[in-house]
Every structure is written in structure tokens, then in C-alpha cells.
């Protein structure tokens, strides 16, 4: 349908899908809404991390199991060019084994998708001399690396001398992106929520959960007011 208004299939994007599990309670709603709203703005994230009181809490929260994030908070924050791109809220009935027995509670789930800017990476990392094939190759390699990622070991191929300098450069770029996601997610979003619970003396939960699915694939169908036909597949 040349020149028509239609949706076009876009190349796959690979990243990490995250869900936050919080109690659906009135005293949580204000801080949750304010935090998610401010998380769209990288400047507000940096301002939060620069505040001495907030920064001390982030360091206490992360230093034991993610010391790299604490050691280079300023450098990672300076690299942030954008905050979150959006989120989805839904509610479920949660049942879990607590310290005092089985607990039933209405649970609020926040779902976020984080996607590395693979086209931008393809512009500076060459795995194939042909630009279109290079974009596809970067996407394919990123998908494999993201699915194999482990927070304790990083991208293992950075330690493989046979991987080649361009693959190593892609690994390092993705590692830097993971640090940015980690600082935004745990340093700002979860850090601010946990700090509010403490400072406002709200009733704490035994645990607040964050789950992640690495290497998930997003295929967008993008509306085009003047498409020229074709299926957009790569």
C-alpha cells in the first residue's frame, strides 16, 4: 500500500524487562508516583544522587553487592542522557510466606523496559563493513550477550582474547549501559522509595522485590503516515 497510512514492523530491539513488586497501600502511592514521574528526567536523577543525604542512602543500599556502582556514581550519572521511557502499572493478589506466617496482600507491580541504543552503538562499532548488515550484526550479538549476562561476571566474552576488539568494544558499551540502568533503577527509583519508607516512618515491608528478564525482545509496529510499502523486516 504505497504512500498509505499503516503500521510497519520494526527490527527487533533487545534489552532487559524489569518488574517492581510493592504493596498496594495508600501511604506508598505518593512517593511511587513522584519517583516514577521524576525518573523520566535524567537531570532530576542526577540532582537526587548529588544530594548528600540521598547519596549516603544509595551508597549504603548498594555498596555491599554492587560496589562498582557506588565507586563511580558521579561518572555513571554524568553519562545518563535520558531517564525511563515509560512504565506500566497493574495489580495482583499476592500471597507469600512471611516471618509471622502466610500473608495475603494486594500487590502493585511496576513494569519497565530498558533498551540500549543499539543503532547508536552500530554507528561506532563495526562488525561488518556494510552499514545495514552491521546494524543487524550488532543487534544479534547484543541479543546473545544480554541473554548471557550475569551481574557477578559481566559479559564473559570481554575475557575471551579470541572475541576480537569490536566484540570487546560492544561488551564494554553494554556493560556501561547496564551500569546506567542499575543506577537509575536501584540508585534512584528503588533507592528513593526505600529512603522514603525510612524517613517518613512508613510501615516497612519485609522485602521489596525487583525481577528482571535479560535479553527480552521487543518488536514495535510503528505507525507511518506515508509508508512506501514493504514489511520492514531485517
- DSSP alpha helix (H) spans, 20-106: 26-38, 42-50, 52-62, 67-71, 73-79
Give me 229's grid cell: 510499502
* Residue-averaged pLDDT of the chain: 87
Look at residues 140, 149, 144 and name the one whose alpha carbon lies nearest to residue 122: 140
How far apart CA 185 and CA 61 sit, in angstroms, is 12
How far apart CA 209 and CA 106 sit, in angstroms, is 14
The pLDDT of residue 2? 52
End-to-end C-alpha distance for the chain, whole angstroms: 19
Where the chain has pLDDT below 50, the residues are 1, 151-152, 228-234
> Which three-class secondary structure state does DSSP give residue 82?
coil
Neighbour tally for 7: CB within 10 Å: 12
The pLDDT of residue 226? 66
How far apart CA 13 and CA 96 sit, in angstroms, is 34
* Sole residue written with cell 506466617: 101
Entry pTM = 0.86
Amino acid at each position: 500500500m504505497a504512500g498509505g497510512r499503516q503500521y510497519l514492523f520494526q527490527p527487533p530491539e533487545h534489552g532487559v524487562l524489569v518488574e517492581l513488586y510493592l504493596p498496594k497501600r495508600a501511604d506508598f502511592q505518593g512517593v511511587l508516583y513522584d519517583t516514577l514521574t521524576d525518573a523520566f528526567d535524567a537531570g532530576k536523577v542526577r540532582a537526587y544522587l548529588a544530594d548528600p543525604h540521598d547519596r549516603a542512602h544509595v551508597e549504603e543500599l548498594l555498596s555491599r553487592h554492587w560496589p562498582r556502582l557506588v565507586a563511580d556514581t558521579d561518572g555513571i550519572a554524568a553519562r545518563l542522557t535520558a531517564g525511563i521511557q515509560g512504565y506500566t502499572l497493574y495489580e495482583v493478589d499476592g500471597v507469600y510466606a512471611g516471618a509471622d506466617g502466610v500473608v495475603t496482600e494486594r500487590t502493585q507491580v511496576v513494569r519497565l523496559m530498558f533498551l540500549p541504543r543499539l543503532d547508536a552503538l552500530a554507528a561506532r562499532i563495526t562488525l561488518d563493513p556494510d552499514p545495514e548488515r552491521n546494524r543487524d550484526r550488532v543487534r544479534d550479538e547484543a541479543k546473545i550477550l544480554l541473554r548471557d549476562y550475569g551481574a557477578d561476571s559481566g559479559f564473559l566474552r570481554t575475557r575471551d582474547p579470541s572475541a576480537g576488539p569490536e566484540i570487546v568494544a560492544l561488551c564494554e558499551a553494554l556493560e556501561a549501559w547496564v551500569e546506567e540502568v542499575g543506577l537509575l533503577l536501584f540508585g534512584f527509583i528503588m533507592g528513593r522509595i526505600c529512603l522514603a519508607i525510612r524517613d517518613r516512618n512508613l510501615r516497612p515491608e519485609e522485602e521489596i522485590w525487583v525481577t528482571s528478564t535479560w535479553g527480552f525482545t521487543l518488536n514495535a509496529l510503528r505507525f507511518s503516515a506515508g509508508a512506501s510499502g514493504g514489511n520492514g523486516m531485517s
